[in-house]
Chains A and B, each alone.
Chain A
Amino acid sequence: MAGISFRDVTKTFPNGKAAVRDFSLEIGDGEFVVLTGPKGSGKATVLRMIAGMEPISGGELKIGGETVKNGSLEKRNVGMIFQHFTLYPGMTVYDNIAFLMKLKGEPEEKIRPLVEQNARLFRIENLLSCYPRELNDLQKQYVAMARANVHGPEAFLMLDLLGSLDASARKRARERLKELYDQIRTTLVYATDDAEEAALMGARTVVMRRGTVEQVGVPSELKKNPCNFFVAQFMNGSAFGSSEVEIVKGKTAVEAMGKGFSVDVPAEWVSRLERGGYLGKKVLLGYTTCRPADEGGESEETKPEAGCEFFFFDRETGKAVL
């Protein structure tokens, strides 16, 4: 499939609702990219546009260097697994993986080696004669992945795939997914509304909100240098607190004065706040709490303390103070 390039792509449904707006993103050939953002941020629509199932309404989408026409639907050779996948209950694992090939009338001598090769890749070769009811959730995921991979897709698109697994199975599935990516090196776009899941994938991550890209970067960068309040809050999750503060120049240091607390502004932020003309003005202070919000009550009631990481945002625009 080579690279995928979005330039100011929009997707507006006939009822006027814009699912994707001015979306720009470059995905390299064989790259692993994670799309994350709250529900309704347009992740699934982006995946569907890549797969050719959702026509674009505006902008430019290039796949493998070729421009996709506005409004055109064109099925592409992609392997997709979405959150609510299921296995065909009346078929064995072998038949599940071979289903589409059999439907297309491919000969058995072509089907069997492909199924067996994929089963080995996903370490489910001893399960080929089992029925889905005999498998655990993790094994079902592997079968679904093998089923999606058996056609030799040029890109893999996954939507909230691991969301239904328990914590330990999720960890194993995540590791297996990364191993597999290392083995097959096919373009992989993984979408999830779970920021923690996105961070654990460790790949280049795109934070989305209301159909637009908010910020792109590796998870550690997104957590430490968020471009705005939304990214800081979303990526740091329950460990994030915020409060409105006034930046005051004290006798010895610059302080952030909030309701019932005051903290010294770290040196690296002082110059930025001064440069931005925020001295004596109110800004939004964001901070990573040392304990999760549910232990310390509502995040709004927690107070920043020593050891917290601080971020300062413009009160009006929500943009980080640069």
Chain B
Amino acid sequence: MISNQILQNTIEGLKGIMRIELCICDTEGKVLATTFPDAEEYEFSVLAFVESPADSQVIQGYQFFKVFDEHQLEYVLLARGAGDDAYMAGKVVVFQIQNLLVAYKERFDKDNFIKNLLLDNLLLVDIYNRAKKLHIDINVRRVVFVVETQTENDTVALETVKGMFSAKSKDFITAVDEKNIILVKELKPGESYEDMDKVAKMILDMLNTEAMATVHVAYGTIVNEVKEVSRSYKEAKMALDVGKIFYSDKNIVAYNNLGIGRLIYQLPVSLCRMFIKEIFDGKSPDDLDDETLVTINKFFENNLNVSETSRQLYIHRNTLVYRLDKLQKSTGLDLRVFEDAITFKIALMVVKYMNYIETLDN
């Protein structure tokens, strides 16, 4: 329902224009919004008016009006004065409130539609019918962004995103769970993934600085039809997961830029186990001590450059060579050889993926 605050703002604004005192009550005579004091005094008159067949009536110096929502009585409006001016002003206010009701319902319906669309809860025929009814363009390019917040139900983050995009009525902001804010963004002609990356950066920077929220932003591929929006959403969710597993240093992850993480994420766990067994012979890279893991990561970071890695680790070159030799003895992989290095790198990523799957199972 429309909030009392919106009703109050509406009648205060209209009073400012028409100079007529106004009050809105529900069908039980309770005052919801008013511009004059002691409006509660009219409760019994309101109840009597609700029971009467009249749509408008003058009672105790006020014009009483019924406000319907699709033939259902929703509110009673009081406009001070018994003359034509009060009648006309009252009619204007009734018209305004009825339009607010329509707009509110449309918005609510749109939100509902988008949620069901994202979750694949609609038949194809319903998608087209409801989109048409809600004036949502069918053949427009869209992309779905998922913003994951650290805290649940982060209202400041949600309102910040709404503030950024709600002025454009063709973008939809919704949420299907406590930690994710979803933005379904309509693209302008000529906009590309580069522009979407800028949008993601803008969301990130605004949420970091305005809402002081630590967030991760992911987005799916650009789709051409409303029926494909759910695919873009699933892709964005997957990008978020892949980012968490493999690219935890990045706050923005795009589905079309997942690299090797995308391949590993889609491997069956049984296949991963087989691969790890083959490489590490039943052992796990998690069994490696911290020092060795830091050495390996740094060696990869420096493109297998022994001098630079030893410099950055503050160790002698020979110490690094010794560590790499030791690793070769235990795994059979010589990280200085490109093929072995890539096998080891993939194995580390597979292990990360398996660990993630295990946390989900638990």
Contacts and interface: CB of A to CB of B under 8 A. Distances in A.
Interface in B162-177: 163-164, 166-168
Interface residues of A, number: 31
B195 interface: no
B352 interface: yes
A259 B247 CA distance: 44
Interface string A58-95: 00000000000000010100001111111011110000
Find the residue from A16, A81, A159 having the highest chain B CB count within 10 A: A16
Interface stretch (B43-51, B127-135, B137-145, B206-214): B206-214
A93 to B, nearest CB: 13
Given A75-B212, A82-B209, A148-B209, A103 B248 contact: no
A193 to B, nearest CB: 14
Contacts of B210: 99-100, 147
Contacts of B208: 48, 51, 53, 80, 82
Interface string B281-295: 000000000000110
Find the residue from A51, A82, A83, A84 having the highest chain B CB count within 10 A: A84
Contacts of B352: 15
A86 B161 CA distance: 11
A222 to B, nearest CB: 22
A83 B206 CA distance: 10
Contact of A88 (B167, B213, B312): B167
B205 interface: yes
A14 B204 CA distance: 20
B74 interface: no
Contacts of A83: 201, 205
B214 A53 contact: yes
A13 B214 CA distance: 14
A53 B213 CA distance: 7
Find the residue from B156, B159, B206, B249 having the highest chain A CB count within 10 A: B249
A19 interface: yes
A54 interface: yes
B246 interface: yes
Q: A-side binding surface: helix, strand, loop or mixed?
A: loop
B340 interface: no
B202 interface: yes
B114 to A, nearest CB: 19
B163 A99 contact: yes
B191 interface: no
Given A88-B163, A89-B168, A90-B167, A53 B206 contact: no
B71 interface: no
Given A15-B352, A53-B208, A75-B212, 18 more contacts: A15-B247, A15-B249, A17-B301, A82-B209, A83-B205, A84-B198, A84-B201, A84-B205, A85-B209, A88-B167, A89-B168, A90-B167, A91-B163, A99-B210, A100-B156, A100-B210, A103-B156, A103-B159
20 contacts: A13-B248, A13-B249, A14-B248, A16-B297, A19-B249, A53-B208, A53-B212, A53-B213, A73-B150, A81-B209, A84-B206, A86-B164, A88-B167, A90-B166, A91-B163, A91-B167, A99-B210, A100-B156, A103-B156, A148-B209
